[in-house]
Structure 1
Amino acid sequence: MRVLSGSGIGWALDAMDVGLISFIIAALTAQWGLTKGEGGLIASIGFVGMAIGASLGGLLADRIGRRQVFALTLLIYGVATGASALVGGIALLLILRFFVGLGLGAELPVASTYVSEFAPARIRGRLIVILEAFWAVGWTASAIIGYFVVPASDNGWRWAFAIGAIPAVYALVVRWGLPESARWLAGRGKVAEAERVVADFEASPAVFGSEPVAQTPVIPGASGATQPQRPGGSRNRFAALWSAEYRVRTLSIWLVWLCVNFAYYGAFIWIPSILVDAGFSLVRSFGFTLIITLAQLPGYAVAAWLIEKWGRRLTLSVFLAGSALSAIAFGTVHVEWAIIAAGMALSFFNLGAWGAVYAVTPELYPTDLRGTGAGWAAGFGRIASIVAPMLVPVLLIAGGTGLTFTVFAIFFVIAAVAAWGLKEFAGKALAEH
């Protein structure tokens, strides 16, 4: 619970920052007179940083440890977000948003890798979906801040950025409050330190009882023989992702990440602004977005239950198919209640799919490749999150919300098909990979 909740709080703070920018763009469009293109650029520059951060973060996590990189990423994006509250123009804001993205991009794949290496095999997928569910907590927090703080005054967006600086402080909690991954320690030959981490787990009382946990996690190297490391540095690790053993799953997971990033960030970054353009007031559109956001939590809950019942691939593909249908519905309805209902369905299915994506990604690779594999998949996917916010204004002009959300639906369908190229590891220990 300490590992899960400690990582989850970092995850929620990440989501809060990403979610806030959609409300801040809508406010700055009115206050600074930003064009749609400038608003898309503010969103996209953060995703440029996320793409680089995800790739570098995974490589660093395999070299210097999961916990160290996790704390460092929180510090980077927390400081950059707080500094964004002081900007007076778009140029400096773009620079700071890049650094925010750098930290955000590295944090997510590292956190999911970190938790997966502690989780018992029988509930590993469920725990990662629960971890991902903290995203809904953070995104809901951003919607609440967007609803109550951003429109409250001309400086409301500055206060929102100031609140987003909390991760810089939380980085200290992560650095000294959470253990390093025992699997990573053992793989690097630090067997004694790994054993101490496991001993702390064994001595910890059960969450729902007073008896200590009696099971010892399977750790490569705990018996004295450390897991062999791949020769060379980051280039060799990247090349290993495309070896005969891993190339199909690497291609499939990269395609899933690319398509889901495109559809998710293209839709949810722009929903508040799309609702404003549809004739709703700023406060009313933010209220609708808050209601839509609340549907994320039940989506995660259902995905967390199904992922151990149905397995990773079926759960992921079903939620992606549901996302496609919901996107088509959102793009074609115009009645107020139908907009909210379709938006809630999109939140439900899309975020359930995200939970499954984060659950399956770290499982596809062995310990010495896990951070690199998860990081590069996330980094490649961020390419789509860079393009999508800038492409949405073009799609809206060309064919309105109908065309825009049909394109999102097509990307969801492609991802659903690609999911069947992944290898299924439900119920298997990471040591069996």
Structure 2
Amino acid sequence: MSAVSARIERLPFGKYHRHLLLLGGLGYAFDAMDAAVIAFVLPVLKSSWQLDGPQLGIVASANFIGFFFGALSAGALGDLIGRRRIMMWALVVYCVASFFSAMSNEWGIFIALRIIAGIGTGAESAIIAPYLSEFVPRRYRGIFTGALAGFFSFGFIAAALLGRYIITPDFEQGWRVVILITSTPVLMLLWWRRRLLESPRWLESQGRTDEALEVVAKMEQQVMREFPVLPQVDAEELDTPPPVVKQESLFAKYAFLLSKKLRPITIMTWCMWLSITFCYYSFFSWIPTLLIQNGMTLTKSFTYALVMYIAQTPGYFSAAWFNEKIGRQATVVSYMVLGSLAAIGMAYARSDAQVMTMGILLSFFMNGAYAGIYAYTPEVFPTHVRTIGTGLASAIGRIGGITAPIMVGFTYETYGFIGVFGATTVILFLGAGAVLIMGIPTKGKSLEQIAASKLS
């Protein structure tokens, strides 16, 4: 590896990396809050705006339409102009659009603003993991990125708490307050992030080696405040000169993703993201509404949803731990298969206790799968196409987020719980199969070693 990579790889984990984890994780938490509150807003909008099932599905899908375009554009621009700039602008777009959506009085305007807000959150979600993973040594990259994704669970729990205690039958405008609460704190996060550095690995991939070395030196200075003596760079690993850079067009980058050597990996990430995102949002976007239609009161359904959301946290962080113990590929496959089994149980659950138990398990395993996916996806793409590959996979996944709420709206009316969660079972199982068959092991390898193994 080059001097830039070797110097990053020898850094011990400390306050510097925890700071990165917090700043990236809070972004994911706000993204999750924004996506999750819609599940609690839907029952209120259904009665206030007299919306039917398909219309509710469109409202639930609006964010994910924006997610698609946000992830797609962020991935492309992240490789072309840099990771940091895209992450900062994504927050601005989200904050402004989300704020004004809370003021909407018309269904069409609300949907349009939610799509724009989704562009911001989609760009943010697609860029954070590949960006921050490039600062982290291989020894703890899997658990770092898995824990980073774990912040999604805090956002879902916060959204559930807001829905449970603010969106009530006695407070007609509570849904507006909740959306405002999810958007305004982002301004503080934007301020905190202003001093983040550009990725040194990306700078090096663009031929800007001197700038990359300056960034690494700044990283080392911050780490040395906690660890005054850094480990020596392993001379045996300094076997690669800085890359010879050939500036590629956007079309060339997409063509490289579909080249013979990289095509199986690219398709694998599409299948992985599409399956988990479809199942995830078919469950979490509709669960309060489905519980109400199954006979629960608004308050009870929100309470059950809150407990299911709380199960996300151990799901994420247990999988983050397994990322380093058994590898990212094995973690993703295991959690998706176990999630499919929980979905079978959800399909045949009859009592409230059974629904609660299976819902907790499904939440645990689907979110655990995400912890593996967010760690795994950036690793399998070379640096010069890392964000475009991750962004494209995330965008493909958002197709599942767009279609899932609409399809649930139709499926439940015809086939009920069995139809909704039977489909979840099959799709999760197919996604696990794609990762098992087409995926590659990444545990214990540097990003440069993974890229070399695929392109050799």
Find 2:205's aligned residue among 187, 191, 194: 187
Shift of residue 89, structure 1, vs aligned partner: 1.1
Shift of residue 203, structure 1, vs aligned partner: 2.1
TM-score (norm 1): 0.95
Match of 1:198 in 2: 216
**Structure 1: distance between partners of 2:75 and 2:245:** 16
Preserved contact between residue 43 and residue 289 of structure 2 (Cα < 8 Å)? yes
**Structure 2: distance between partners of 1:417 and 1:379:** 21
Match of 2:48 in 1: 31
Find 1:145's aligned residue among 141, 146, 162: 162
Equivalent runs, 1:59-208 vs 2, <5 Å: 59-151=76-168, 153-166=171-184, 168-170=186-188, 172-173=190-191, 175-205=193-223
Equivalent runs, 1:45-64 vs 2, <5 Å: 45-64=62-81
Q: Which amino acid aligns with 1:414?
A: L
Match of 2:363 in 1: 347
**Structure 2: distance between partners of 1:108 and 1:217:** 33
Q: How many residues align?
A: 428
Shift of residue 367, structure 1, vs aligned partner: 0.7
Match of 1:238 in 2: 254
What is the aligned-residue identity percentage? 34
1:44-96 CA distance string (max 9 Å, x none): 12211111111110011111111111111111111111111110010100110
Bigger drift between 373-382 and 194-203 goes to 194-203
Shift of residue 228, structure 1, vs aligned partner: 3.4
Structure 1 residues 224, 338: CA separation in 2 closer, same or farther (over 3 Å shift)?
closer
1:160-211 CA distance string (max 9 Å, x none): 11112125414532551322111112222333332232222222247xx942
Shift of residue 424, structure 1, vs aligned partner: 1.3
Preserved contact between residue 72 and residue 171 of structure 1 (Cα < 8 Å)? no
Residues 1:8 and 2:7 are matched in the alignment: no
1:105-138 CA distance string (max 9 Å, x none): 1111210001110111011111111000000011
**Structure 2: distance between partners of 1:334 and 1:19:** 25
Structure 1 residues 427, 276: CA separation in 2 closer, same or farther (over 3 Å shift)?
same
Task: In structure 1, list runs of 5 or more residues that go unmatched.
Answer: none
Shift of residue 29, structure 1, vs aligned partner: 1.1
Q: Which amino acid aligns with 1:94?
A: I
Preserved contact between residue 44 and residue 386 of structure 1 (Cα < 8 Å)? yes
Structure 1 residues 52, 331: CA separation in 2 closer, same or farther (over 3 Å shift)?
same
Q: Which amino acid aligns with 1:157?
A: W
Preserved contact between residue 128 and residue 355 of structure 1 (Cα < 8 Å)? yes
Matched position secondary structure for 1:360 = helix
Bigger drift between 344-353 and 19-28 goes to 19-28
Match of 2:9 in 1: none
Match of 1:394 in 2: 410
Q: Which amino acid aligns with 2:425?
A: A
**Structure 2: distance between partners of 1:149 and 1:228:** 56
**Structure 2: distance between partners of 1:357 and 1:410:** 19
Shift of residue 6, structure 1, vs aligned partner: 0.6
**Structure 2: distance between partners of 1:411 and 1:60:** 31
Preserved contact between residue 49 and residue 107 of structure 2 (Cα < 8 Å)? no
Structure 1 residues 397, 188: CA separation in 2 closer, same or farther (over 3 Å shift)?
same
Shift of residue 372, structure 1, vs aligned partner: 0.5
Preserved contact between residue 133 and residue 355 of structure 1 (Cα < 8 Å)? yes
Q: Which amino acid aligns with 1:160?
A: V
Equivalent runs, 1:245-256 vs 2, <5 Å: 245-256=261-272
Preserved contact between residue 149 and residue 157 of structure 1 (Cα < 8 Å)? yes
Structure 1 residues 19, 230: CA separation in 2 closer, same or farther (over 3 Å shift)?
farther
Residues 1:333 and 2:349 are matched in the alignment: yes
Match of 1:378 in 2: 394
Task: In structure 2, list runs of 5 or more residues that go unmatched.
Answer: 1-17, 452-456
Residues 1:283 and 2:291 are matched in the alignment: no
Equivalent runs, 1:203-214 vs 2, <5 Å: 203-205=221-223, 210-212=226-228, 214=230
Aligned-residue CA RMSD (Å): 1.9
1:124-154 CA distance string (max 9 Å, x none): 1111110000000111111111111122511
Q: Which amino acid aligns with 1:98?
A: I
**Structure 1: distance between partners of 2:336 and 2:410:** 25
**Structure 1: distance between partners of 2:25 and 2:179:** 21
Preserved contact between residue 230 and residue 237 of structure 1 (Cα < 8 Å)? no
Shift of residue 247, structure 1, vs aligned partner: 0.5
Shift of residue 339, structure 1, vs aligned partner: 1.2
Match of 2:3 in 1: none
1:206-239 CA distance string (max 9 Å, x none): 7xx9423614889xxx999643345431111011
Bigger drift between 223-232 and 266-275 goes to 223-232
